[in-house]
Amino acid sequence: MPIESAVSRLAGGSLLADQAYRELKSAVLANRLRPGDALSVPALAARMGISRSPVREAVQRLIHDGLATHEPHRGAVVARVDVADVRQLYLLREVMEGLAARLATERLDAAKVAELRTLLEEHEQVVTCGDDEERHTQMDMDYHRLIREVAGNDHLTAALDTIQGKAHLALHSLWRSPEAQRLAVAEHRRIFEAMTSGDPQAAEEAAREHIRRLRIRLAQMLPGEGSSGARMPSHHAERRTGDAG
């Protein structure tokens, strides 16, 4: 997608590097900037209407996050999806999201319950309408991010923010499936119900099961999984994903 369509002109003001970073990260995670796309500092700066320095800093932050890489003779590009790396990320994310849900359940208060419920209900409405893939992706990330916030462990939050960003690079084909979106939001509700029941162990297992099922659905779509030996037989994967709804 051309840069002109991928990013927007910034309003100006202070902290331009932060604004540029947020705009570029959003474009990458929404697949407006796709794996392998060049992150040309001059072109991005011209499109955003700012100087090159804050854009250069924003691109470096994307590289630090694992959302971009530096390629010889090309410079910075959006990171490409590596099947083995994604598999490892999801194994790690399963454990860490489960821990976040457990810790959050122990710290949950009425205000955060209301915030989680509102976000979940808005997400369910977006999925029911089925016409806003980018909004679904953002709300999916916001839901997990809010659970981490409630968990109150800054190191866990920082690690999961990086893992979730990289993992989402592989999810664009998955999010185009209305059924996968419905399954994801149904699993989010199970996590919410376990957390609000006051059972940390149940919340941890619900969160881990959600990531396990995401991994299975993703394995059915990632290129190369079928030849790697890591992909589940299709009849087993269909059984596991089917009971998530």
Run means of pLDDT, 10 residues per run, the chain, 245 residues? 72 82 89 90 93 95 92 91 83 96 97 97 91 82 95 95 82 68 93 98 98 84 48 34 34
Confidence (pLDDT) at 66 = 87
Report the DSSP pairing between strands 75-78 and 68-71: antiparallel
Confidence (pLDDT) at 62 = 94
Domain covering 83-242 in this structure, CATH number: 1.20.120.530
Confidence (pLDDT) at 13 = 64
Residue 82: both structure tokens together: 């590596």
Q: Where are the alpha helices (DSSP H) in the chain?
A: 3-6, 16-29, 41-48, 52-65, 83-107, 110-129, 133-151, 154-168, 172-175, 178-196, 200-219, 225-228, 234-242
User: Which residue type occupies 228?
Assistant: S
User: Is 13 strand, coil or helix?
Assistant: coil
What pTM value is reported for the model? 0.76
Between the alpha carbon of residue 83 and those of residues 130, 177, 187, 230, 237, the distances in Å are 28, 20, 24, 10, 18
Domain ranges of the chain: 3-78, 83-242
The CATH topology of domain 3-78 is Arc Repressor Mutant, subunit A (1.10.10)
Confidence (pLDDT) at 226 = 44
Residue found by looking up tokens 């994801």 in the block:
184
State residue 75 phi and psi, 5-degree precision.
90, -150
Confidence (pLDDT) at 9 = 80
Confidence (pLDDT) at 76 = 95
Residue 53: both structure tokens together: 């320095």
